[in-house]
Amino acid sequence: MQHTEIIKLLGREPSLVEVTAKGWVRSFRSNRFIALNDGSTIHNLQCVVDFSAFEEETLKKVTVGAAIAVTGPLVESQGQGQKVEIQVSKLEILGEADPEEVKLTILSPKRHTMETLREQAHLRVRTNTFGAVMRLRSKLAFAVHEYFQNNGFYYMHAPIITGSDAEGAGEMFRVSALDPNNLPKDENGKVNFKEDFFEKETNLTVSGQLEAETYAMGLGKVYTFGPTFRAENSNTSRHLAEFWMIEPEMAFCDLDGNMDLAEDFIKYVIKYALENCLDDLDFLENRLLQEEKNKPEAERSEMALKEKLQFVLENNFKRVSYTEAIEILKYSKPNQKKKFKYLIEAWGADLQSEHERFLVEKHFKCPVILFDYPAEIKSFYMRLNDDGKTVRAMDVLFPGIGEIVGGSQREERYDVLKQKMADMGIPQDELYWYLDLRKFGTAVHSGFGLGFERLVQFVTGMGNIRDVIPYPRTPGNAAF
């Protein structure tokens, strides 16, 4: 039996032509009014049943969580809150849901904590909040591809299993087919990876950047958009062990062009969400307003959700050098009154989330791009400035999030890159192919990485990054 999505039915004019809708029951009032939702929209479709026309046994199965199909004319609604409703002439139970079991789940119509929702992540997408978040996530992912495709970028699939560590952090998940209970050893008593599947140590990727650079130096402009993995024991509302990264790389592009692209890209996807996801944004905004009523006034947001998104679109991102930012932070009230957890004492400090948020939320009160960081706190592949102590790095900082983008102009000079790798202990034999790029037609090139979940978190207003990905992977948690 053909059916029509509820989002389409709600946009139609009343008609005597019968339509069919399928979905899950959200409520059944007075043995007469069914609220039906199929996930296509935040709004339910009201389906009006003449209980005298249906068997009692059938109506008993119309319970919260049950999957049903209804058929009937789409008529003008007599009640408030919807323009049209289905006058049910045919009702079919597609999948039952035991009311007693439903009471024990988050499908029951009462308020649940976010932690409880995470514990039932296989069901939480059927709640209003997570339906809205995941529809927005899908639309934002589409907008990412649309932006880059419209701007001449080629989509590249970077490897997920890799032998290199783009970040130099060493916090990687190992990939092995060896039997952990019977590991082969070499003559030194160490694990003999020559007997492993890839005949060497391999890991899950922390970034597709290095591989994307190689493609940018042949295709001009490329981007990756895929899963990345960090084995950091960070149990915070901003970190995941598995997350999705967007990484454009551009040949013949310097740091200024890189900052221009990051700002233009972020504004594009936020604008797309405002233009295409208004119902879900309205719902999430109202949810946030209700949440904030319980907070002390000092902790409440100065702007509502859509106002905050519009603010980003209408204001240029403030570009500030790291050196200038350190001066601002050093003499700021939180630093002088020792309110920062990590006090800023001198140039060279690695900025923490509290510092980034102070710059964005308290000092400049707009998104900020910091650039020209100390070389010592940044990765080996970032271009060294003429001063010999800073690199052409940039971070985009957002309110409520902190760093949302990290990028740089890449070091294109063979001798300088080789020396930096030696100084930082980066094995040149394993990254010979990366050095090769600087030997065969090197050129100025740049790129950045944007953690997709942090973007989704900002657009949806969700307070915890674990609530913007279907199944969060965090320390101690790989459920589902």
- Summarised one tens digit per residue, pLDDT across range 155-166 is 999 999 998 765
**Cβ–Cβ < 8 Å for 249, 211:** no
Residue 80 pLDDT greater than 90, yes or no: no
116, pLDDT greater than 80: yes
Mean predicted confidence (pLDDT) in 278-295: 93
Residue 459 pLDDT > 60: yes
CATH 2.40.50.140 range(s) for the chain read 6-102
Q: How would residue 170 be classed by pLDDT, with cut points 50, 70 and 90?
A: low
In the three-class reduction of DSSP (H, G, I as helix; E, B as strand; rest coil), residue 149 is classed as helix
Token pair of 455 as six digits: 């973007």
CATH number of 128-171+206-467: 3.30.930.10
Q: Which burial class, exposed, middle or buried, applies to 237 when counting CB atoms under 10 A from its CB (0-12, 13-18, 19+)? A: exposed
Topology annotation, domain 6-102: OB fold (Dihydrolipoamide Acetyltransferase, E2P) (2.40.50)
Q: Residue 343: pLDDT band by 50, 70, 90 thresholds? A: very high
Length of the chain: 480
Averaged pLDDT for residues 256-268: 98
Q: What is the pLDDT of residue 44?
A: 97
Whether 210 contacts 434, CB under 8 Å: yes
Partnered with residue 396 across adjacent β-strands are 369, 405
| pLDDT, mean over the chain | 94
Q: What pLDDT does 168 receive? A: 55
C-alpha span between 209 and 245 (Å, rounded): 10
Q: What percent of the chain has pLDDT over 90?
A: 87
pLDDT confidence bin for 354, thresholds 50/70/90: very high
Q: Are strands 318-321 and 368-374 parallel, antiparallel or unpaired?
A: parallel
**Is residue 442 within 8 Å of residue 253, measured between CB atoms?**
no
Q: How many whole angstroms separate alpha carbon 237 and alpha carbon 220?
A: 36
Residues of the chain with CATH 3.30.930.10: 128-171+206-467
For residue 431, CA distances in Å to 197, 256, 336 come to: 20, 27, 45
Give yes or no for residue 169 having a pLDDT over 80: no
